[in-house]
Structure 1
Amino acid sequence: MTTAGVSVAAAIRAVLCERDVRSKVMNARKVARDWRLGRLAFAFDVAMPEAPGRPDAPELLLPARMPKRGKGSEHGRVALWHALAHIEFVAIDLALDMAGRFGAGMGEAFVSDFLSVAADEAMHFALLDRHLRAHGSHYGALPAHDGLWSAADDTRHDVAARLAVVPMVLEARGLDVTPAAIDRVRAAGDERGARILERILDDEIRHVRFGANHFDAAAKRLGEEPGNLWKSLVFRYFRGNLKPPFNDSARLMAGLSRELYSALA
């Protein structure tokens, strides 16, 4: 990786602090591209913000205060796409913060992997927002829950904990629930929506695999057995339970063995 005048940390921080939706999406992809092309220095001269910039809308609510979607109705379908768009929007910041907060200690390959994840999440969001607009809505039109970033905040001090909870639990859960969502969307006659979800599922397998691989490396540097360390960190930092059914085949492709996660289910 060649060096340049702007540090990768400064470029990441600028995107994390961005409040405008379109600018965050476009600049997340630009940072990943600039890093790939050697335009950013492997330097961490600025700290990451305590919390990312957020647009004025959507209104962020506690998960328990979120209104019911109303399954089967058009409003319910719009609410589903809005919820998915919000997940992908927050995932941009999760990936950027991973690279910017922990990249100095984890190395250039780590930065490359998670900047590529950020670019993927930005693309996913753009696809979902476009699909929302095809349904006569847009991102920000409905409230969204504010629980996703709490996992990043809880693990801001420990890269192993962040990797254990975010890619290996939260993103892995997407591998479990997305196939059923694809079937429901396709059954409702929304073939375009089904193809978007298939694309996201394929990409998320790779994202979880990045997390699992870097977690294994971090555990070995600590002299810990990866499986035991993962279980202890999930028990300490994950606010919830690992619930079946699991998409065992997708999880295996992502580097997660059934033996690992079934013990906590």
Structure 2
Amino acid sequence: MENLFDAAESCLSACEIKEKLQLTEQTAQAWRDGLLSLESKNAPKPVDEPGHPDNPILVSPGDVPKRRMGTPAGLVALIHAIAHIEFNAINLAWDAVYRFRDLPQQFYSDWVQIAIEEAYHFQLLRQRLNELNSDYGELPAHNGLWDMARRTAFDPLVRMALVPRVLEARGLDVTPGIIERLRQAGDDRTIVVLEIILHDEVGHVAIGSHWFKYLCQQRELDSEQLFRELINQYFTGQVCGPFHYEARQKAGFSAAELSALEHLKETAARAEKPVL
């Protein structure tokens, strides 16, 4: 029987968009059908860069086109940026499956499901770009999400704390405001896509919260204290609001964690260096 880890590595390393999407669907179905085991003799290898197409060209965050929605070009830039996040999220999901071993079977089921949903989100956004006479890859993008994947590859606990609960959770905060501006502009088509994504991302962040707290419990660590420490270590001066409290609470954030984020927001404001 083939194993899930090798299949996840194939998804992760696929460069062409069509191939990555097809492998994602095939692997998820094989896992659901019980055709993939969790037994592998091969330890996970470092992945400096996951498979991705030649375009978009990857640049520093400051060189990414501005996302103003008042013009057709600005709308395309916004949707392209979100599509790039979702494409990276496919890779992040498969990397979590591939990299972190000896965890409960449900961990792998959760992240396989996330990979499928991120692929669906990407396809919705790409379709919207096509409707606007554009496509994914036509604009430059940055690689911030994968940079954090590299930095957290050594420990699933740190990965669960910082990728779903910080970087991906930022989407819970900013998407409602984007939807409202699109509503004012009368762009119902893009709103439908973003509402689907927002709904699903609450679940994705909740999965990150669950496994972060599970791993803390296994190691007899205080999850709230450790979350604060990790935020301070990795994101000092780089966290800003506003925070979508209702969505974050649904996604597993405690009152103490939200209070800690507020404190860090104030610190970031004083530092005048917010990037999240």
Q: 1:178 aligns with which of 175, 197, 200?
A: 175
Alignment of 1:152-163 (within 5 A): 152-163=149-160
The Cα of 1:70 is off from its aligned counterpart by: 4.3
The Cα of 1:189 is off from its aligned counterpart by: 1.6
CA contact (8 A) 2:245 2:258 kept: no
Alignment of 1:57-206 (within 5 A): 57-102=55-100, 104-206=101-203
Report the 3-state secondary structure (helix = DSSP H, G, I; strand = E; otherwise coil) of the residue aligned with 1:68: coil
Alpha-carbon displacement from aligned partner over 1:132-166 (angstroms, at most 9, x marks no partner): 00000000011011111000000100111101100
Structure 1 stretches lacking a partner, 5+ long? none
| TM-score normalised according to structure 2 size | 0.90
**Could you say which residue in structure 2 is the equivalent of 1:35?**
31
Change (3 A) 1:72 1:258: farther
The Cα of 1:65 is off from its aligned counterpart by: 2.1
How large is the Cα RMSD of the aligned pairs? 1.4
Alpha-carbon displacement from aligned partner over 1:78-135 (angstroms, at most 9, x marks no partner): 0001001000000000111011111x22221100001100100000000000000000
**Could you say which residue in structure 2 is the equivalent of 1:7?**
3
CA contact (8 A) 1:9 1:45 kept: no
CA contact (8 A) 2:224 2:256 kept: no
Q: 2:213 aligns with which of 207, 211, 216?
A: 216
The Cα of 1:48 is off from its aligned counterpart by: 4.3
Q: 2:204 aligns with which of 203, 207, 218?
A: 207
**How many positions carry a matched residue from both structures?**
260
1:236 aligns with 2:240: no
CA contact (8 A) 1:151 1:238 kept: no
CA contact (8 A) 1:13 1:48 kept: no
Report the 3-state secondary structure (helix = DSSP H, G, I; strand = E; otherwise coil) of the residue aligned with 1:55: coil
**Could you say which residue in structure 2 is the equivalent of 1:23?**
19
1:225 aligns with 2:231: no
Letter in 2 for 1:125: F
CA contact (8 A) 2:68 2:78 kept: no
Report the 3-state secondary structure (helix = DSSP H, G, I; strand = E; otherwise coil) of the residue aligned with 2:102: helix
% identical aligned pairs? 42
CA contact (8 A) 1:92 1:118 kept: yes
Report the 3-state secondary structure (helix = DSSP H, G, I; strand = E; otherwise coil) of the residue aligned with 2:238: coil
Letter in 2 for 1:105: D
Letter in 1 for 2:9: R
Report the 3-state secondary structure (helix = DSSP H, G, I; strand = E; otherwise coil) of the residue aligned with 1:44: coil
The Cα of 1:44 is off from its aligned counterpart by: 3.4
Alignment of 1:45-64 (within 5 A): 45-46=41-42, 47-50=44-47, 51-64=49-62
Structure 2 stretches lacking a partner, 5+ long? 266-276
The Cα of 1:200 is off from its aligned counterpart by: 0.4
1:246 aligns with 2:246: no
